[in-house]
Structures are given as structure tokens and as C-alpha cells.
Structure 1
Amino acid sequence: MTAAAIARDVKEGTRSPVDVVDAHLDRIHERNDRTNAFVTVTDELARRMAADAERAIADGEPLGPLHGVPVAIKDLDDVEGVPTTSGSLLFEDHIADADTPVVERLRAAGAVVVGKTNTPEFGLGTTTDNRIVGPTGTPFDPDRTAGGSSGGAGAALGDSLVPLAQGSDVGGSIRTPASFCGVFGLKPTYGLVPQAARPNAFVSHTPMSHKGPMARTVEDAALALDVVAGTHSRDPFSVPTTTAYRAAVDRPIDDLTVAYSPDLGVYPVDPAVRETLDDAVSALERAGATVDEVDPNFDHDRTEILDAYYTMATVLWQSLLDDLERQGFDPRGDDRDRLRPYLVDLVMETPVPSAREYKRADIVRTDVFDGLQDCFDRYDLIVSATLGTLPFPHGAEPTTVDGQEVEPYRGWVLTQPYNFTGHPAASVPAGFVDGLPVGMQVAGRRHADDDVLAASAALERRRPWADRYPT
């Protein structure tokens, strides 16, 4: 069932929150070994929350928009009293002492937390694997990666373990697993969903880090966005919203204009993926949108864009190590062997950029921003592939795509430009190649998340995917 259907049935009294949660917990325990989506299943907390939800109904209390709906939380976000491992042996026994803002808002809306989903160590990776529970696979072929870093969330949704999940995205971490798991994932406009990170409240701006909803339907994601969006006094980048995102799902799109660029002009895309996208984008035309094939002009090739991303991200990752040291760990010394080798190579074996290199990366970032804005001056949306390739076997990151050499860890993703700029961008299921899902990236003007949702919902109506999950 969808989150919207569960919430409606609970509100109407035709379905019990306790029964709903019990059914989902049973399914998680029966099937989680298949994909390794969950790190922690919060049976006791979930049943207590479900009982509270049932009492609220009996007492005639006002019900939130997600009352009784099971939700999964990425294991980077804190749920009070529940382990937050961050995918790291350093935090294997860490228990959170408070909810993050997103969790607070989901719980206030009546959602029931059923568990924490898998992530690579500290969320650093386009695939999901760590030394605590191992890799997460796509439900369509568990021997292939679910993507990352919100891979556990994508797999939990694609295998129908939960109707709603929360993800985070600093370079594609919502959209990559959404594509590989055949679900919908939205990276909202930067600041729309608050984070209130500590000890550095300003850590999320370079590259831009976002939290957002993931679901099997666009409607469910829109319902969740209505709940979690809006200002927060402890997030200096949080922005207000006056938009009702659920209402956007039912909007016609005959007033929307679309710039279709399968490869964003610079990225290699597998021919089978491109063919699937060509077919999917035609559905937007049939739904009334005006579609032109147009490439943004970034003034840089994909290597220069990726180098700028790594320059910014390396500074971000080095600050993570500083935070670990403040917490009493020694990641550069005695605790180094407890870290995943990939993280050691990525962070500690990479030279720290100079201040001048860091600011030069901002020039590339500006050129990418201007290239996108030039498109958005003429079009409401930019549509592309989410990823240049299909889900691949665990540990077999691609080195070539469509005959072109690519950097194996991030050279096949088309998501990072929007982490430079903060535009809203979603991955929408576009179809399948040999039984493996393909995602279409739909990006909109800043603060036009409703346009992204409207177009995504129109595609879902024209090309429904609900019956394709391996349930």
C-alpha cells in the first residue's frame, strides 16, 4: 500500500495502525536478508508508536497527515534512543539522544519509525557498503548494487518493506539509489528541508547537502515534503515555504516547457539507457508539456566538473575527520584501521586542496550554475538521465560507459551539477532494460519543487510503474 492509502484508511477507521505496523515489521524480518536494506529494525519503538497512534484515534485527537504510516530513516539521521551507526565501526554502539529535525517532523505528523536503513560509512559513496552489515542490493537483482548513499532506503522501498523513507544527498545520494531501485527520490531546493547540523551549522553549503523524501509514488513523496519542509531556527540556510506540494501532484503540465538533454551535454550514457529515456520523455509531451532537445553549456567537460566537486568534497570530508577527533576518535592514527579502506583512500590519501584551489573550484561551480540558469531562463525543467549506466554487480564500479573511460566511483552519475547549485532535482522511474530500472532526472528552477513534482506525477500517470516491483 502507498503511504497516502494507509493514512487515509487509518483516518477513516478502516485500518488499525497497530495492524499496519505489525504487517510491515513482519515483512521486513521476512525479506530484509534479500537486499540488506535495514541496519536496525526498531520493533519495540514502532509498536509503541503504533499503539500511541491507535490511542490517539480512540481519544478523538487530531491526526497528522502521516498518522500510522511506517517510515524508514537513513542511518545518518538520529532517532532518539536508537542506534545511529553512520555505517562506521566507530559508531557501532552509538545511541542517539535526540531526533534530528526531519525525524521530529515526521513523528509529529504521525509517522511510525520502523527502522534505520543502510548507508556507506558516513554517507561517502555512490554505492552502499560498510564494515558493519555489508552491501545493499537492488530488489531487482540483489547481486547488483542499490546505489548510494541512501541505498538502504531505495532497497527498502523497492522491495515493499516500507511505503516511505528519508534520504540525504550531497552528490546524488537520493537520486542514485532511486534510479537503481526503481523508486522516486527528490532532492529538494537547498534549505527547504532543514538540517541543523552540529557542531558546524554551515557545513552543508559546499557542495550543497540536502535531505528529502523517497517513496514508490510521487504522491507519497509530496505528502512527506509537506511535512518536513520549512524554516528551522537552528539551520542558517533553511527557507520558508508557502507551497502545498501534494496539490502539485494533480496539476496538469500543459504549461510546462522542458529542455531534454539525456547526457547534459558532457556525460556518457549507455545507449540502452538513452533509448529508455527517449521513450519516457515522449510521455511528457503526450501529457501536454513542450519538450525541446537542448544541452546546457557548462563551459567545462565532465572531468573538470568532477575535479571541482572533489575539491569541494575533500574539504568537507576532511572536516568530518576533524569532527571525529573532537569526539575523541583518532581517525588519522589509532582508529584508521577501523575505517573502510575506500574512505581512507578517498579522504586521507588525497591532498588537502589549498584555499586558492578551493576558490577556483567555485569558478567552475559558477559556470555550471550559469549554464543551468541559461536553460532555466527559457525552460521550466531540465530532463536527463539520472545515471549513465544500469545497476552493476557489487564491487564492479564501471570504468567505461558507452565506450568512454569514466572515473569509477562518480564518473557515471549526472547528479552533481545540482549539488553545485541547489536546484530541486528528482529521479523518476523511466522504464527498464533487461529487467533493471532506469531513472530519469527531472530538475527545476530553485524553489519550483512543485513543477518537478507535477511533471514527475504526470509521467507516473502515463507510465505507471507500481506493478513492476518484485514483491
Structure 2
Amino acid sequence: MPKTHTLSATHLAQEIRTGNRSPVTVVDELLDRIDRYNDRTNAFVTTTAEQARQTAQEAERAVVEGNALGPLHGVPVAIKDLNNVANIRTTFGSRLFENHIAEEDDEFVRRLKAAGAIVIGKTNTPEFGLGCTTDNLTVGPTGTPFDPTKIAGGSSGGAGAALADGLVPLAQGSDTGGSIRTPSSCCGVFGLKPSFGRVPRVSRPNAFSDHTPFSHTGPMARTVADAALMLNVMSGPDPDDPFSLPDDGTDYVAATERSIDNLRVAYSPDLQIYPVESTVRDVVDEAVEVLSDAGAVVEYANPEFDCKQTDVLDAFYTFAKVLWESLFDNLETIYGLDPRGTDKEKLRPVTVKTILESESVTTQEYKRADVTRTTVYEGIVDLLREYDILITPTLGVQPFPHGEFPTMIDGIEIEPLRGWLLTQPFNFSGHPVGAVPAGLSEDGLPIGMQVVGRRHADDDVLAISAAIERERPWIHDYPM
């Protein structure tokens, strides 16, 4: 019998449903694996052993008694430590919340539990999710299982590392500037940034805070079908989220089995404005070629962005600073903390510098950033009028050592903290994006690519992503 940690969530769900594998055994084996291997990547911040084992026993009774079972019955899942699981610690990656216990589940967590999933732990994230690498003062950095001395990406780096190291079959991520796609690339897993509003995000006291830039919650997994199964459960309207999309009846698992015959694919190696290492370009070039064999029509084509990469990043920082300043206001008004004063020493220096020591954004700067955002949006929409899918690298670089941020790519100077990502344009636009493993570099490090669909066409993204996986399966690349 295959070992639990090697199985997909889809396979595990089938085995549990038929009684061939016990959810109690599954949970015990994965908790044991986390206990033995988590130190090398630092993927998990907290394990929910007691709660998970109790839920697993209830799940086993339901199977024995022949009760109705949900699509994820007995399947373990990890939740990012920015999100709440009732009665479990949520640190937000910050020493300010080292001992904070959540009172209730986030809505998507409730949906996962209702579908039978078992929360097995919380995964690492940078402080308040503010970073493209995963490091904080609470538990330290998370590394990719392919080489733990190198970054797992961020801010869902713990989720990516946990999946690639066989610690859990499903994980949830969130993405405001690349935070699902960056760790998916660095850890060689599949992640989906769904259409904005596809998975509801209930935010209070400001219900509209996720709008600029668009923030998304989505599934991460080792297979496209597993992510689609998770999306089936997480998606759907919620009246408490003013941006949540209606249920259009799409079966996302079925989408992974669709033919891609005659789908038109635009391939842009650099979006015309981003520097990309030759190693990354070569791996992605080779991966894209297989789509022609799978039936798609592939052509080189670029979105027309009437701006530079630095303009996009400047606009992102303008939006993000407003969002981050609001977060700090909430720390004061809701939690009674003093991040600008007595609690400042508990914050990471990069957090202090990025938020507390930066100048406030003016309304004029904010509206100018909206013009850049509109230019980016128009470029993507115009290209996707002619093509069904756009493919581009996720990052301009391979995973790099902890703390050694790149300053140059292909001879071009970049902003070190975020200048190596090709992800922000799609947080400006809200389009669905799959983060697909493209292959390994000569150094054995994972490289990823983005599969961008038309607005609300998450099914097309999953169909193309699954076709790539069938042609170039990555399941045997994992070092586990």
C-alpha cells in the first residue's frame, strides 16, 4: 500500500470513503511526519494534533456507520497562519500575536470542515503576510524542500513547503501580490489565485479592504485535480463579502478533464517589461511547448502595457502602503496594541521601515496609481480578447538563499524585495491565475509559470494547467 504522505487528496478521499484507509491512521501518520521533518523547512507554525485526532475519530465513525460523506471527508488540510481556525492559535506571523487564540473559523475554513476536511495545522507566513519570502520573528524562515537553505517564497511559503515535503495533501494560501504563486514556484507545487471574489473573504471592520489591490484566497496542492476539488468546496457567494461571486454551477474537477483542443494560448516570456534569468526562460519555454502536443494553439504574444516594470511596482507599493497603514490602525483600535510606540520593538525591522518609516500616500498619488492599474488591466484584457490563455513565468529568478535578495537580473537592476516577481499585474486586474510547476533547473530547483485566464474563467485555467501536468507530470520531482 502506498505511503500516506505520497498520496493525492483525491486518492486519499477515495480510500477513506471506501474504507480502505482510516482517517485516524492518515492523521496520525501525517502528524508523525510533521514531527520528524518539519524542522528542516519550518513549514508549520502550529499543529492541531488534539483537535485533528478527535475529528478523525468522528470521521471514521461516519464511514463505519454509512453516513453521508463530504467530498473531502477525512482529508487533512493546512491553513495559513493569517487565517482563523476556532480555538487554535493564529499568530499572523507576528510576535504581537504569539499567544492569540482565534474565536471562530474563517468562512472558507467552515466550508472545508463541512466538506469533511480535517485541519492538521497552521503554516508559516511573514509578519502580517508582508513579504515575498517567509520569515518572521516568531519561528524564523521557511525553506523550499528542494534546498532548505533557499527561500520557499511568500507569503504562503509554509503552505508550499508543507505540500512539497509531503506533510499535508492540501493547503490554503492567500495572494495580494503573488503570495500563492511565488511559493508555488519556489516549492514546485500547484496553486490557484482564483478570480477575485470566487472564494469569499470576510473582512471587518472594513468589508472593502481587499479591493485595492485585489486579494484572493485559494487552494494549493501537489496536483491540479486536488486544487480543483478544494476550490469546489471553498468557492461560492457569501452575503458578508460584498465582492463574492455568484455560483455559476461550474464543476472545477470536471474542468481538469476537459480537452484543450484549439484553445488559443499566448506565451509571453517576460510580459515585455520584466527581466528574466535565462535559466528560468529556458525551463518555461520547454514547458510551454507541450501545449501544442496537447491540442492548443500556442503563439508568442505580449500584453501591451504602456508603462515600465518600475511603474507597476510603484503603483503596487502605493496601494499596499494604504492597506498596510489600515492594518496598523486596526492593531490599535481593535486589539489595543501600540505598534508605533511600546510594541514597535516586537515588529520586524522591514515591517517598521516599510510602513512606519515611509511617507503617507497622498490622494493624488493614489489616483495616479489607479491610472497605471488601468493601463495594466487594459493590456491583459485586450490580449485575452484574442487568446483564451496567457502564459508567463512566475518569477524572474530561481529560489535564492535566505536573506540574499537579488539586486540584478540579466544585467538589469531591480528592487530587491519584489522586483523579481511577475505577479502584481494580475492582482491589479483580478484575473484567475494558476501557478504551474514548469520544471527543475540544472541546480535541481523548481521553476514555475503563470497560466492566466479571462475574467471569471477559472475552468479554462484549470483545464490548461491539467493538460500541462498530463504532458509533463511533476509528482516525481518532490524530494520526499
Q: Structure 2 length normalisation: TM-score? A: 0.98
- Aligned letter for 2:16? V
Corresponding residue for residue 344 of structure 1: 352
Corresponding residue for residue 230 of structure 1: 236
- The match for 1:425 among 423, 427, 433 is 433
Corresponding residue for residue 31 of structure 1: 37
Does 2:159 align with 1:159?
no
- Aligned letter for 1:286? D
- The match for 1:264 among 264, 271, 276 is 271
Alpha-carbon offset, residue 59 of structure 1:
2.3
Q: Distance in 1 between matches of 2:99 and 2:286?
A: 48
- Aligned letter for 2:262? D
- The match for 2:474 among 446, 453, 465 is 465
Q: Distance in 1 between matches of 2:58 and 2:352?
A: 44
- Aligned letter for 1:109? A
- The match for 2:363 among 355, 367, 371 is 355
Q: Distance in 2 between matches of 1:145 and 1:306?
A: 21
Q: Distance in 1 between matches of 2:270 and 2:154?
A: 20
- Aligned letter for 1:386? T
Match of 1:204, SS state, is helix
Q: Distance in 1 between matches of 2:71 and 2:405?
A: 40
Cα-to-partner distance string for 1:18-46 (whole Å, 9 max, x where unaligned): 01111111111110001000000111011
Superposed, 1:58-69 pairs within 5 Å as 58-69=64-75
Does 2:191 align with 1:185?
yes
Q: Distance in 1 between matches of 2:14 and 2:385?
A: 40
Alpha-carbon offset, residue 255 of structure 1:
2.8
Q: Structure 1 length normalisation: TM-score? A: 0.99
Does 2:463 align with 1:454?
yes
Match of 1:304, SS state, is helix
Corresponding residue for residue 320 of structure 1: 327
Identity value in percent: 62
Corresponding residue for residue 395 of structure 1: 403
Match of 1:467, SS state, is helix
- Aligned letter for 1:267? Y
Q: Distance in 1 between matches of 2:431 and 2:15?
A: 35
Q: Larger deviation: 127-136 or 324-333?
A: 324-333
Corresponding residue for residue 296 of structure 1: 303
* Aligned alpha-carbon RMSD (Å): 0.6
Corresponding residue for residue 114 of structure 2: 108
Q: Distance in 2 between matches of 1:94 and 1:319?
A: 20
Does 2:203 align with 1:197?
yes
Q: Larger deviation: 354-363 or 148-157?
A: 354-363
Cα-to-partner distance string for 1:265-317 (whole Å, 9 max, x where unaligned): 10000001100111000011111111110111110000011000100110000
- The match for 1:306 among 301, 313, 316 is 313
Alpha-carbon offset, residue 58 of structure 1:
2.0
Q: Distance in 1 between matches of 2:344 and 2:388?
A: 47
Alpha-carbon offset, residue 256 of structure 1:
1.0
- The match for 1:73 among 49, 69, 79 is 79
Match of 1:446, SS state, is coil
Cα-to-partner distance string for 1:291-346 (whole Å, 9 max, x where unaligned): 11011111000001100010011000000000000110011111111111011111
Corresponding residue for residue 4 of structure 1: 10
Alpha-carbon offset, residue 200 of structure 1:
1.2
Superposed, 1:137-176 pairs within 5 Å as 137-176=143-182
Q: Distance in 2 between matches of 1:196 and 1:323?
A: 15
Match of 1:72, SS state, is strand
Q: Distance in 2 between matches of 1:306 and 1:140?
A: 29
Cα-to-partner distance string for 1:135-169 (whole Å, 9 max, x where unaligned): 00000000001000000000000101001000000
Does 2:254 align with 1:247?
yes
Which consecutive aligned stretches of 4+ in structure 1 deviate over 4 angstroms post-superposition?
A: none
Corresponding residue for residue 214 of structure 1: 220
5+ long unaligned stretches in structure 2: 1-6
Q: Distance in 1 between matches of 2:269 and 2:213?
A: 23
- Aligned letter for 1:130? N
Q: Larger deviation: 11-20 or 119-128?
A: 11-20
Match of 1:377, SS state, is helix
Match of 1:325, SS state, is helix
Q: Distance in 1 between matches of 2:262 and 2:327?
A: 44
Match of 2:171, SS state, is strand
- Aligned letter for 1:436? L
Corresponding residue for residue 341 of structure 2: 333
Q: Distance in 2 between matches of 1:87 and 1:217?
A: 27
Does 2:62 align with 1:56?
yes
Corresponding residue for residue 129 of structure 1: 135
Match of 1:279, SS state, is helix
- Aligned letter for 2:89? P
- The match for 2:285 among 278, 290, 295 is 278
Q: Distance in 2 between matches of 1:265 and 1:184?
A: 25
Alpha-carbon offset, residue 262 of structure 1:
1.1
5+ long unaligned stretches in structure 1: none
Match of 2:137, SS state, is coil
- Aligned letter for 1:454? A
Q: Distance in 2 between matches of 1:70 and 1:300?
A: 44
Corresponding residue for residue 388 of structure 2: 380
Match of 1:442, SS state, is strand
- Aligned letter for 1:465? W
Match of 1:387, SS state, is coil
Match of 1:147, SS state, is coil
Q: Distance in 1 between matches of 2:206 and 2:114?
A: 26
Match of 1:389, SS state, is coil
Match of 2:150, SS state, is strand
Alpha-carbon offset, residue 244 of structure 1:
0.5
Cα-to-partner distance string for 1:218-276 (whole Å, 9 max, x where unaligned): 00000000000000111111011221000011111113111100111100000011001
